[in-house]
Structure 1
Amino acid sequence: MHFRKATENDIPSIVTLLADDELGSTRESIEDCVVNDYVEAFAEMEAQSGNQLILAIDDQSVVGCLQLTLIPGLARRGMKRAQIEGVRVDRRYRSQGVGQALFEHAISIAKDEGAGLVQLTTDKQRADAHRFYERLGFTASHEGMKLLF
């Protein structure tokens, strides 16, 4: 297994991972009518400094992904933060260390870029994910809130 930044050609594989669970299946679609939405979003991410999709690759197949965004700010004496979103591992590869290795890779990038902390949000319904993040050392120190439009 190795890691690399996603390219536009990876979008179908990434969206398939994002849609492959109970929550994601209601949020994502790989139908032709919405593919352009993903292509446009990917182009925006590529244009934004410090924003990337990282893929876990096994035998030429995308088996995991996450989005890593570096966020400069003034709080905490100007500390840069790293935000992780959109974490998925192919169900056939779960419990095999793929997620942990993907996180370790992303955290290493964040440290190399000068981030002082890594943060993430996770849906309250994802109990398995919560246990996984806690095993990695993350703590539920804040309550997250969202406003959907």
Structure 2
Amino acid sequence: MVRIKELLTKQQWLEAYPVMKQLRTHLDETSYVELIQQAVENEGYKLFALFEKDTIVAAVGFMPMITLYNGKFIWVCDLVTDDEHRSKGYGQQLLAYVENWSKDNGYNIVSLSSGLQRLDAHRFYEERLEYDKVSYVFLKRI
């Protein structure tokens, strides 16, 4: 049985860490929890997990945002499926969940970025989920 549930507590966030660590390899447990705490408190970040039985096998984190470019929209910050559970449609289920959450809460755009090296992910977003590639994201470390 597969179910999706919002993770609201530090303990629940920690349960998702082994899966999230596969995407955010630079984060240790402490910095991971601290960043989620700050994002929840300051940015409205939401973290949902997809469970297969009682095990987290995929996770998505997103933030409701408002910009002049998109207006009101949802920014998907994190989307990952455990390496051992890929190709089962879990990423697609999580993004469909985010899209439904967005509609239910008055947001009509879902946006995300994906690393340049993640060509399989790009095909997944564009071909299977019908996302449009509309820009590049630029970053400068200061």
TM-score, with normalisation over the residues of structure 1? 0.82
Contact 1:18–1:28 (CA under 8 A) maintained in structure 2: no
Which amino acid in structure 1 is aligned with residue 132 of structure 2? Answer: T
- Contact (CA 8 Å) 2:36, 2:45: kept in 1 or not? no
Task: Report the residue type matching 2:39 in the other structure.
Answer: M
- Give 1:49 shift: 6.0
Residue deviations 1:89-126, cap 9 Å, x none?
A: 01121111111111100111011111121110100000
Aligned length: 139
Tell me what 1:82 maps to.
74
What is the SS of the residue equivalent to 2:40? Answer: helix
Matched residue, 2:57:
63
Question: What SS class does the counterpart of residue 117 from structure 2 fall into?
Answer: coil
Q: Cα offset for 1:133? A: 0.8
Distance in 2 between residues matched to 1:87 and 1:46, nearest whole Å: 17
What is the aligned-residue identity percentage?
23
Matches within 5 A, 1:64-143: 64-75=58-69, 79-134=71-126, 135-143=128-136
The alignment partner of 1:65 has SS state of strand
Q: Separation in 2 of the partners of 1:48 and 1:108?
A: 23
Give the unaligned 5+ runs of structure 2: none
Query: Are 1:2 and 2:22 counterparts?
Result: no
Q: 1:144 to 1:73 in 2, by over 3 A?
A: closer
